Every structure is written in C-alpha cells, then in structure tokens.
Amino acid sequence: MRLADLNGALRDPTIDAIWCLRGGYGLTRILDAVDFTALRNRPIPVIGCSDVTALLLGALRQADVVTFHAPMARAAMPAFARRSFERVLRDASPAGLLESSPSPADVLVPREGRVVTLRGGIAEGPLMGGNLTLLASLVGTPFLPSLEGALLVLEDIGEAVYRIDRMLSQLRLAGVLRGLAGVIVGNFTDALRQTPDGALGLDEVLGHYFEPLQIPVAHGMPVGHIDAQWTLPIGVRARFDADRGTVELLESAVTDRS
C-alpha cells in the first residue's frame, strides 16, 4: 500500500512535492520498486529525514534529482527551521539557472555555542548523506550515490556509541569515507559524548574516523532529530566552513516552475 501511494504520487502530474509525515521505517523494503523513472521524467521535491534518507539518496542516485533533508511534515517547526525550509525550497535562480553567486542570505548559521570543530578549514562539494544507519544500510546497493568529493552530512538517534562506531567502521572499510571533501556532523540524539566507564565516547569515535582524513569536520551542526534544524538540499554544491560552523549554498536547489 505504501509503495502504491508513493509511486502514485510520483506519477501524478497534479502533485508538486512529496513531504513525508514520519521517518519511514521499512522504506528500504520497497526502495527497489520505487518508480524513479517517473521522478526523473518529472522532478519534484522529495522531503524528509531519518529513514527517508534511503529515499533521498536513492532518488539522487537513480533519478539524478536534488532531494531535501528536512523536518517531517508533522514535526514542530520553529522560526529557525521554517526560515531555512522556505529559503531553500522557494529560492530559484532567474531563468531556472542553478548556478548563482553566493550572498549573505545563502549562508546558514547554527545557533551559537553548539558547534565543536574537530578539524578546521573550508571545503566545497555536493551535500550528501543524512541518517547514518540508513547510509550504512545502502552500502553495496545501487541506491547510494558516489561520495567522492562530497560534504558528508551525518546524524542519528537512539544509537549507542558502539553502534555508531561499528557503522562508521563499515563506511571506512567499504571505502566510502575515502575522497570526502568535508564532514558535517549533526546531532546524535541520546548518544553519550563521554562515558563514565572508560569506553570511547562519541567525540573520540568521531575523531578516530575523521581526523586521519585531514579534511574539515565539525560536530553539533543543526541537523538531525531536533526541532531547530536546517533544510539541506542533497546533491547541491555547498561551501562548508568548519571553523565558523557555516554552510553556504552555491547553487539554487529548485528551478522556477511558474
């Protein structure tokens, strides 16, 4: 039923976007039957987060369309999140051109005091990623886009640090982390930053995998299972400043369809 609803929406010329209501557990069961050809032929925004990461990345890989890692349709959306959502989804370049000159309005700035810079610097590349668990589950499938030169976005919820460690290890062993331009680490909700028993904490695990890459990395960016989060266009080129904790969109994520 869910597959029929999704494919029906992708094929319906009266529908302008698909905005998911919830995370979508089980989405990977139907991913290989999604009508990505319909989406390629008539690109529309696909919006969501959490398990919907599988659909966002699959659509980018299979249909070559930009998707949107953003709050769910039923989620709380404070002013910070709404401003980001509306700016990214409404701001089309003149004449539908994706290339645009960055302006101060393009810069997404997180709330002060939340960002920890693991390695400073500035990097440019397409935004990729989303939920770590779903990203890891797509390794070895035809639904994971190339991460070569990408700004990898990561977040998760309810995962113990040892499981985060295991998933990052899987990505490293699969060669997925090789060639990244930068890493934008959002919120790992309910994961321990440090542990009282001497086991590795989240900061140490992140450092173990990302510091050897010698690329810009910052942790605590406004992405994940939180109310005040960015809307990030997956597949759009951006500039990431790990020292300032900012992401600057270098292209429009949408075209003028008026």
Cα gap 134→176, rounded to integer Å: 14
Task: Find the domain containing 96 and state its range.
Answer: 2-249
Q: Is the pLDDT of residue 257 over 70?
A: no
pLDDT at 195: 64
Q: Which of 100, 140, 121, 127 is nearest to 216 (CA)?
A: 121
Domain membership flag for residue 256: no
Catalytic residues: 50, 155, 225
Q: Summarize the confidence of residues 14-27 as an average pLDDT.
A: 90
Q: Which of 66, 50, 56 is nearest to 226 (CA)?
A: 50
Burial class from Cβ neighbours inside 10 Å (0-12, 13-18, 19+) for residue 103 reads exposed
Least confident of 1-5, 102-106, 127-131, 158-162: 102-106
Please provide the distance, in angstroms rounded to a whole number, between the alpha carbons at the two ends of the chain.
Answer: 32
Instruction: Note the pTM of the prediction, 2 decimals.
Output: 0.88
pLDDT at 196: 66
Domain membership flag for residue 257: no
Domain membership flag for residue 258: no
> Residue 244: which pLDDT band, with cuts at 50, 70 and 90?
confident
Q: What CATH code is carried by the domain that includes residue 151?
A: 3.50.30.60
Domain membership flag for residue 28: yes
Grouping H, G, I as helix, E, B as strand and the rest as coil, residue 154 is strand
Least confident of 20-24, 148-152, 208-212: 20-24
Domain membership flag for residue 255: no
Residues 6+ apart with CB under 8 A from 191: 156, 159, 160, 161, 164, 202
pLDDT at 130: 96
pLDDT at 256: 57
Cα gap 233→138, rounded to integer Å: 19
> Residue 158: which pLDDT band, with cuts at 50, 70 and 90?
confident
pLDDT at 101: 29
Scan for tokens 């080129």, then name that residue: 237
Q: What's the number of domains the chain is made of? A: 1
